Amino acid sequence: MKETVAESLGKFVHGLSYEALYEEVIEKAKTCMINGIGIGISCHDIEFAKIARKIIKAEEHGIAKDRSSTIFCDGVKVSVMGAAFANAILFHSRTQEDTLGSSHAGAVVIPAALAISEREGSSGEEIIEAIIAGYEVVGALDRAVSAYTTPRGLRPSSIFGIFGSASASSKLFKLSEEETINAIGFASAFASGTMECFVAGTPEWRFEVGLASREGILAALIAKNRVRAAPTAIEGKIGFLNAFANTTECAENIVKYLGNKWEIMSACFKPYPICAFNQTPVLAMLDMVKEYKIDSNQIERIRIFVNPYEFQYPGMNYRGPFGTIEATLMSTPFCLALACVEKELTFKGIGQFNHPKILDLIHRVERIPDEKIPPLSCKIELEMKGGGRFNKEMIVSTDYYNFDMEQDIKLIKGVTDEADVDQSKVDGMISIIKDFDKAENAKGLIGILANCP
């Protein structure tokens, strides 16, 4: 009898061993940890990270210390699921976390893995193994299914991220093969997350990753108690794929490359605290502004050609009014206008909702879908008031943002410095993760994260 998708995923996760991993895969997992944690601790003072901490602390006061996990940048001990929820939102609060396809795997998987490992006393090798398992499952689902689910308004990071959390949790809770398969099944039933918030400029998306991280742990804990999930939870007639993608034709592609194509190797990193689809447009615009010494006051019109998938992605063409960074970080017109006016793009910059020069320039930006433009690429045409014209085409692949460890460390040092994080703690975090596979447990790393910034 042919395996179901949940069976194939569960068997892969259960059978994944540190010893069988390639050195470059382990190195990439460490790089993702440095990126995720570095971005996370840079979010210590952002409103929604504070709200998440406040909620969990208020509801979980008095958790026994020997059965608890740490809220980062706070130090308070709460339940393993409470810590995963709060820390996932922390990791996601700059929207500068890693991207795997359309999903932010690190913001969901790493908080879950660290929360469990603190309580269970997991070794560095076990944590790395679990994180890789989580990335592989998220990547497989995103690659095969996101083209069907995203146009329906379902958010990849949350509907696929929960599977990553459940997979990492299954490894660290040392679930059997059958229990791991059931955890995957429960994750498919618990998955959720929509994207109307990107159009409205509201913050539901921030909390969605927290739910995915927490509920993935819950899925694993239910399975650990020998509760059985539907074997065809994913490809069944009324299962995950038909409910979320309105098709099961992609089912075989989910498991097609398991163990042969390492999804984590495709994880990319963001130079700027904005949507992944705005990274290349901003880079191209900043290059033009600097190369041609562009005066934003003299710009008559900006025409930007983008991939049709990115053109229709929720929130990308929003032009205001702006009152939240949830709207500005998604808006390509805003991000381009900000880059032109300030000749840089910072987290502080995307909070300028009423800057007259930015608002004026936004309405001079025309976004155009173009099938000839590959994903993550763009072509920009600048028309000046005096009649001059400037053009730039930036065609890149995901590899352009696939930084190695040293490149990522440089990025993280810059972001943490901008966010006033103690650089000695950043250096300590990086040093621990570089040799994390030699660590007996996560205590040293958790100790640093508990007291950041």
pLDDT in tens, the chain (453 residues): 589 999 999 999 999 999 999 999 999 999 999 999 999 999 999 999 999 999 999 999 777 777 789 999 999 999 999 999 999 999 999 999 999 999 999 999 999 999 999 999 999 999 999 999 999 999 999 999 999 999 999 999 999 999 999 999 999 999 999 999 999 999 999 999 999 998 888 999 999 999 999 999 999 999 999 999 999 999 999 999 999 999 999 999 999 999 899 999 999 999 999 999 999 999 999 999 999 999 999 999 999 999 998 999 889 999 999 999 999 999 999 999 999 999 999 999 999 999 999 999 999 999 999 999 999 999 999 999 989 999 999 999 889 999 999 999 999 999 999 999 999 999 999 999 999 999 999 999 999 999 988
> Residue 167's closest CA among 122, 121, 209, 112?
112
Q: Is 306 strand, coil or helix?
A: strand
Q: Which two tokens stand for residue 225?
A: 């108690």
Output the six-digit token pair for 418: 């901008």
Q: What is the pLDDT of residue 315?
A: 92
β-pair partners for 369:
306
Side chain identity, residue 197: C
CA dihedral in degrees (313, 207, 254, 139; nearest 10)? Answer: 80
Strand (E) or helix (H) holding 382: strand 378-384
Q: What is the largest CA-CA distance in the chain?
A: 73
CATH architecture of 276-399: 2-Layer Sandwich (3.30)
The residues, any chain, with a CB within 8 Å of residue 205's CB and separated by 6 or more, are: 92, 155, 157, 193, 195, 197, 198, 326
Give the position of tokens 């901490």. 53
Cα(210)–Cα(205) distance, rounded to whole angstroms? 9
Instruction: At 248, list the tokens.
Output: 């099961």
Instruction: Identify the bridge partners of residue 103 per DSSP, sorted by sequence position.
Output: 100
Task: Tell me the DSSP string of 51-113.
Answer: HHHHHHHHHSTT--GGG-EEPTTT--EE-HHHHHHHHHHHHHTTS-S-BBTTB-HHHHHHHHH
Give SS3 for 234.
coil
What stretch(es) of the chain map to CATH 1.10.4100.10? Answer: 5-269+402-450
CA 134 remoteness from chain centre:
13
The CATH number given to 5-269+402-450 is 1.10.4100.10
Count Cβ atoms within 10 A of the Cβ of residue 82 and give its class: 0-12 exposed, 13-18 middle, 19 or more buried: buried
Within 10 angstroms of residue 447's Cβ, the number of other Cβ atoms is 14
The answer to whether 437 and 125 are in contact (CB under 8 A) is: yes
Residue 173, C-beta contacts closer than 8 angstroms, at least 6 positions apart: 116, 120, 220, 221, 224
Give the separation between CA 248 and CA 139, rounded to whole angstroms: 18
Q: Give me the residue label for tokens 């995915």.
A: 212
The two beta strands, 365-369 and 299-306, are parallel
Which residues lie across from 366 on neighbouring strands? 303
The span from the CA of 185 to the CA of 388, in Å, is: 59
Residue 21 DSSP code = S
CATH code 3.30.1330.120 region(s) in the chain: 276-399
Q: Which residues contact 253 (CB under 8 A, 6 or more apart)?
A: 143, 144
Map tokens 């913001």 to a residue. Answer: 107
What is the predicted pLDDT for the residue at 201?
A: 87
List, in order, residues 6 or more apart from 69 with CB less than 8 Å away. 77, 78, 79, 80, 82, 83, 84, 114, 115, 116, 118, 119
CB 136 within 8 A of CB 129: no
Q: Which amino acid is at 365?
A: V
Whether the CB-CB separation of 449 and 37 falls below 8 Å is answered with yes
- What pLDDT does 372 receive? 96
Q: Say what the pTM is.
A: 0.94
The three-point CA angle 208-209-212 to 5° equals: 90
Residue 432 contacts residue 445 (beta carbons within 8 Å): yes
Cβ atoms of 270 and 414 within 8 Å: the answer is no
